[in-house]
Amino acid sequence: MMSIPGLIQRVILFCTIICIPLQAPADDSLWQQVVHWGEAQWSMATATMPRSPVTVPAQGTIEVAFSPPGGATAAIVAALGAARQRIWVQAYSFTSAPIAKAVLQAARRGLDVQVMLDKSQRTQKYSVADFFANQGVPVFIDDQHAIAHNKVMVIDSDTLVTGSFNFSKAAEQANAENMLIFRGNPALQKLYADNFRFHLSHSTRYEPRHGRD
């Protein structure tokens, strides 16, 4: 349920757009609050662990893939290619070259790209951590848990990738995995965005071990 302050801000924003000429009122601080009221859900400064368990109404579509025989990698690459605002990644193991390439291309398109990995990626023989960090993509390590085991991508404001599927060649070709892409359910996606921001708030920036890839 929306809080009273949140409801008031929405009413003010509606009246500002519909009833009042598009100019800042005398109280500029209030105007700034109204203009930026929606940005808090994407700000790391407001990170809190989302309440759980929680029931979210069914909405939108769900794309499903299983492996083997595969298909999840191609579905994820397509979702990344369609991104227009942000891509936030949580991964335990991330070694898939096609997925890494799609994430990097999104960063080069100017999207907000953040990658958060388990602490095991500091010592893995090969990890995309070095690849991304050397390409200027922000990489963080969540080392505050026994295992940071999430496999999640928060894409734009209405697409969510999750499931058992690690972003790896083994997950595509060898392991028994499942992958879901939810589209058009912003309430569900916001929970995962909140969870991402919470874990990012206690993560540390990754420093590459190797030279430029």
What are the catalytic residues?
149, 151, 156
- Return phi, psi of residue 182, to 5°: -95, 130
What contacts 137, CB < 8 A, 6 or more positions away?
A: 103, 104, 107, 113, 115
Q: How many C-beta neighbours within 10 Å does residue 35 have?
A: 12
CB 150 within 8 A of CB 91: yes
151 burial type by CB count under 10 A (0-12 exposed, 13-18 middle, 19+ buried): buried
Q: Determine the number of helices (DSSP H) and then strands (DSSP E) in the chain.
A: 7, 8
Measured between alpha carbons, how far is 64 from 165 in angstroms, rounded to an integer? Answer: 11
Q: Two tokens at 126?
A: 């090969």
Query: Of how many residues is the chain composed?
Result: 213
